[in-house]
């Protein structure tokens, strides 16, 4: 058997700004920009954030020199990794990898940022570490077979994310291959994340990701101080691939490593909901615009999804048609379809506007979801969907193979900036928002990550940090 753990450790140890392709670094920079915009909005606007912050404080994770995005207080590095990871995933508006069926940035970026602040690293170094994390996390999900992993009740963003977070932090700290291999062994015992939250709208999916970021940072720090983790953490008898999936394909964990960059296959979300819903939303928005469909005339909607997506956002139908909270809405194909048909799009604030709205709920109950053969044929390479809308004046149908935001259909800089401005606008004035955005979009030139992150803080805190 290929020594997968060792191969990945050597890859991570060898990746740096001088060995990273410019195209990969440039894409990673845009992904970081998007992730930080999500985190800033969630720091102020997610329903789970007050209890998250209070819990972190009670655990003694505040009072340090590390930065939580949009927060005027200092945190310990593990505290910043935990909170930032949770924030980046709290809106479910963060990036995705279709074939891996995961969210790459939320567990990886916070671990790298915390490690960068610990070491005083600059932006180019941080981007290389983040790419190392992406490549490890994504490849492990590909090797697991995400559908099988989901069927077992695991959340692969988190279970694989802890290894990616360990890789990113270990790279940032300059660990050699032996140290990184040990960090992977420590991460193995922290790999967790249950899909049980889908049944009652619990907030644990958000926490999974923050926990993965924090645990990866912990693994790297412990290994860097000589604490020994078990070898063969990924391919061993009781290693990750043998324990967490029934029919893993270990070769996928290292296939094309250093030649095929999975970072370039990461997509950015245009809508704040489960990625499996986006192709259908694209289709509904297109049908509404092209045929002047009014939500009030819609008699029935049928959405065709790949089977894995249907399991998450389409079943059980009655519950999906009657969401009662934000998490329900994020994973309800009927809800996001009703909003898209009503609004011609969807923004984060639409949850506050429409959860519990009578007309939206009435439309939800006219939306059904099915497993569609054409969508299934595109899976897992794409999260495709078909939308069929029935009205008194006729039936309308369209299929979307590649949802907006995928690498082949990526958001433009202008679209990314509009998303960032929409998320951060309520909390940063125009001048501060411009300065922060420009710093992030030129991250490779930054000499100190901490100084860039300080720009996310409330103005009084920024001035205090700057000594003004």
> In this structure, are residues 468 and 82 in contact, taking their beta carbons and an 8 Å threshold?
no
Q: Which of 154, 162, 149, 160 is CA-nearest to residue 247?
A: 149
Q: Which of 329, 206, 331 is CA-nearest to residue 274?
A: 331
How many Å apart are CA 415 and CA 413, to the nearest integer?
A: 5
pLDDT at 463: 34
pLDDT at 1: 57
54, 55, 58, 62 alpha-carbon torsion, rounded to 10°: -70
Burial 422-436 (b: 16+ CB within 10 A, else e): ebbeebbeeebbeeb
pLDDT at 133: 98
> In this structure, are residues 67 and 80 in contact, taking their beta carbons and an 8 Å threshold?
yes
- List average pLDDT for each run of 10 residues in the chain, which is 468 residues long: 92 97 97 98 95 98 97 97 97 93 97 98 98 98 92 94 98 98 98 92 94 98 98 96 92 96 97 95 98 97 97 96 93 97 94 95 98 96 96 97 95 95 94 97 97 88 36
Burial 161-196 (b: 16+ CB within 10 A, else e): bbbbbbbbbbbbbebebebbbbbbbbbbebbebbbe
Residue range 4-267 forms a domain whose CATH class is mainly alpha
pLDDT at 399: 98
How many Å apart are CA 370 and CA 196, to the nearest integer?
A: 22
Q: Which is it for strands 367-371 and 298-305: parallel, antiparallel or unpaired?
A: parallel
Burial 12-22 (b: 16+ CB within 10 A, else e): bbebeeeebee
pLDDT at 298: 98
Residue 266's beta-bridge partner residues?
97
Give the Cβ contact number of residue 398 at 10 Å. 16
Residue 371's beta-bridge partner residues?
305
> 275-404 maps to which CATH number?
3.30.1330.120
Cis peptide before 178 (omega within 30 of 0): no
| Region of residue 365 (left: phi > 0; alpha: psi -120 to 50; beta: else) | alpha
Q: Residue 461 is inside which H or E element, if any? A: helix 459-466
Q: Which of 362, 307, 309 is CA-nearest to residue 331?
A: 309
And the tokens for 57? 């404080």
List of residues 6+ apart from 138 with CB closer than 8 A: 97, 100, 102, 104, 160, 164, 262, 263, 265, 266
Q: Which is it for strands 385-391 and 62-67: parallel, antiparallel or unpaired?
A: unpaired
**48-51: which pairs have CB atoms within 8 A and are 24 or more residues apart?**
48/86, 48/90, 48/203, 48/206, 49/87, 49/90, 51/203
Burial 265-282 (b: 16+ CB within 10 A, else e): bbbbbbbbbbbbbbbbbb
Please provide residue 235's backbone torsions phi and psi, each rounded to the nearest 5 degrees.
-105, -5
Give the Cβ contact number of residue 45 at 10 Å. 17
How many Å apart are CA 147 and CA 380, to the nearest integer?
A: 9
Does this chain's domain 4-267 share its CATH topology with 275-404? no
List of residues 6+ apart from 100 with CB closer than 8 A: 137, 138, 141, 142, 146, 156, 160, 262
> In this structure, are residues 40 and 427 in contact, taking their beta carbons and an 8 Å threshold?
yes
> In this structure, are residues 92 and 335 in contact, taking their beta carbons and an 8 Å threshold?
no
How many Å apart are CA 41 and CA 276, to the nearest integer?
A: 23
And the tokens for 377? 């044929």
Please provide residue 74's backbone torsions phi and psi, each rounded to the nearest 5 degrees.
-90, 155
- Structural domain boundaries of the chain? 4-267, 275-404
pLDDT at 22: 96
Ranges of H-type helices in 105-229: 105-119, 123-144, 146-151, 156-159, 161-173, 177-188, 204-224
């Amino acid at each position: 058997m290929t020594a997968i753990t060792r191969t990945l450790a050597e890859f991570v140890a060898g990746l740096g700004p001088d060995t990273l392709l410019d195209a990969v670094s440039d894409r990673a920079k845009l992904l970081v920009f998007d992730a930080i915009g999500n985190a800033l909005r969630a720091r102020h606007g997610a329903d789970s954030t007050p209890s998250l912050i209070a819990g972190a404080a009670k655990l003694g994770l505040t009072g340090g020199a590390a930065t939580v995005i949009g927060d005027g207080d200092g945190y310990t590095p593990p505290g910043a990794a935990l909170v930032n990871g949770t924030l980046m995933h709290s809106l479910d508006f963060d990036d995705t990898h279709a074939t891996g069926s995961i969210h790459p940035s939320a567990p990886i970026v916070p671990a790298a940022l915390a490690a960068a602040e610990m070491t005083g690293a600059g932006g180019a170094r941080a981007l290389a570490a983040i790419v190392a994390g992406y490549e490890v996390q994504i490849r492990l999900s590909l090797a697991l077979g995400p559908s099988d992993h989901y069927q077992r009740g695991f959340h692969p963003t988190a279970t694989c994310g802890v290894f990616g977070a360990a890789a990113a932090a270990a790279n940032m700290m300059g660990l050699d291959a032996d140290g990184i291999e040990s960090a992977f062994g420590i991460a193995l015992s922290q790999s967790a994340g249950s899909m049980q939250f889908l049944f009652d709208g619990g907030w644990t999916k958000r926490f999974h990701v923050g926990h993965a970021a924090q645990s990866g940072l912990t693994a790297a720090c412990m290994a860097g101080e000589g604490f020994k983790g078990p070898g063969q953490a990924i391919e061993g008898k009781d290693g990750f691939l043998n324990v967490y999936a029934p029919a893993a394909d270990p070769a996928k964990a290292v296939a094309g490593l250093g030649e095929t960059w999975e970072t370039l296959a990461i997509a950015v979300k245009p809508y704040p909901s489960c990625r499996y819903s986006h192709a259908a939303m694209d289709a509904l928005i297109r049908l509404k615009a092209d045929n002047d469909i009014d939500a009030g005339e819609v008699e029935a909607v049928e959405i065709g999804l790949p089977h894995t997506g249907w399991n998450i956002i389409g079943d059980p139908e009655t519950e999906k048609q009657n969401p009662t909270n934000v998490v329900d809405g994020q994973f309800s194909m009927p809800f996001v379809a009703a909003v898209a048909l009503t609004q011609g799009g969807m923004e984060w604030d639409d949850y506050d506007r429409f959860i519990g709205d009578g007309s939206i709920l009435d439309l939800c109950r006219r939306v059904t979801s099915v497993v569609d053969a054409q969508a299934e044929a595109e899976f897992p390479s794409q999260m495709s969907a078909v939308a069929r809308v029935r009205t008194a004046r006729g039936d309308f149908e369209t299929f979307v193979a590649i949802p907006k935001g995928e690498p082949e259909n990526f958001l433009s800089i202008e679209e990314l900036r509009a998303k960032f401005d929409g998320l951060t606008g309520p909390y940063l004035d125009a001048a501060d928002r411009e300065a922060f955005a420009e710093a992030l979009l030129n991250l490779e030139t930054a000499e100190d990550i901490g100084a860039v992150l300080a720009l996310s803080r409330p103005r009084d805190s920024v001035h205090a940090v700057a000594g003004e």
